[in-house]
């Protein structure tokens, strides 16, 4: 029951070669993989008339393509980490920006996260039964965080204050690492063993709130 060991493996997941390299490094150390969390991502905000084409390529390669490429490369280890009643788990990190547009010019980010959610649903069904491949099953789910302060999300504070963002959240606060970690633990635990193809919003109620309307005079 621990303490365990954390071994860092470096790879550029924005490239197909980097995804293959990480899978190869892991296979040299471990024969089985029980949980894969696809958490690598980046963002870019710029007005539409100057939004660079290479920003789209950078974001989609890392935010979307790497999720597919790395999961595919690690299928043998995920199959080995699955057992009857206890499938291997893939947890993708999406965003509520993939469920509702952000009021900021993050075109490639918002659409890439919507793609992550759809890829999650597609892979959730396709990987559910792996008996023909020598495994048992792999669940694929996604967490869609709301605003959680991080180095990447800090750029949003150039458009609105932290207090202003918090006031737009029904539960009245920003997310924390513990909120996100709790969702990941649920999906990785026995509690999430019969759940696949789902996108779990962790956003303090942001997506669920009614659309704001002006009162009728």
Given pLDDT bands bounded at 50, 70 and 90, which one contains residue 213? low
CB burial readout 16-44, b (16+ within 10 A) else e = bebbebbbeebeeeeeebbbbebebbebb
CB 98 within 8 A of CB 114: yes
Q: Indicate the average pLDDT of the chain.
A: 93
pTM of the model: 0.92
Distance of CA 109 to CAs 15, 86, 211, Å?
A: 18, 33, 22
Q: What are the pLDDT digits (tens) for 13-54?
A: 999 999 999 999 999 999 999 999 999 999 999 999 999 999
Catalytic residue (one of 51, 107, 109, 159): 109
Q: What fold does the segment set 37-202 form as a domain?
A: Rossmann fold (3.40.50)
DSSP summary character for residue 5: -
pLDDT at 214: 66
Range 131-141 average pLDDT = 97
Mean pLDDT value of segment 157-183 = 88
Q: Where are the domains of the chain?
A: 37-202
Angle at 23 between CA 197 and CA 92, to 5 degrees: 25
Is 107 one of the annotated active-site residues of the chain? no
* pLDDT tens digits for range 152-165: 777 777 767 788 88
């Amino acid at each position: 029951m621990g303490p365990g060991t954390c071994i860092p493996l470096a790879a550029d997941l924005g490239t197909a070669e980097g995804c293959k390299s990480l899978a190869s490094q892991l296979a040299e150390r471990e024969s089985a993989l029980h949980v894969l969390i696809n958490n690598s991502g980046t963002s870019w905000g710029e007005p539409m008339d100057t939004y660079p084409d290479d920003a789209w390529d950078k974001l989609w390669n890392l935010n979307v393509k790497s999720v597919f490429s790395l999961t595919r490369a690690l299928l043998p280890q995920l199959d080995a980490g699955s057992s009857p009643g206890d499938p291997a788990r893939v947890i993708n990190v999406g965003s509520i920006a993939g469920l509702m547009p952000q009021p900021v010019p993050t075109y490639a980010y918002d659409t890439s996260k919507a793609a992550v959610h759809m890829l999650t649903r597609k892979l959730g069904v396709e990987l559910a039964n792996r008996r023909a491949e020598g495994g048992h099953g792999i669940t694929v789910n996604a967490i869609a965080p709301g605003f959680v302060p991080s180095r990447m999300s800090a750029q949003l504070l150039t458009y609105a204050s932290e207090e202003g963002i918090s006031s737009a959240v029904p539960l009245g606060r920003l997310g924390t690492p513990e909120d996100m970690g709790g969702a990941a633990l649920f999906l990785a635990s026995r509690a999430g063993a019969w759940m696949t193809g789902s996108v779990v919003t962790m956003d303090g109620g942001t997506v669920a709130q009614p659309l704001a309307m002006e009162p009728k005079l």
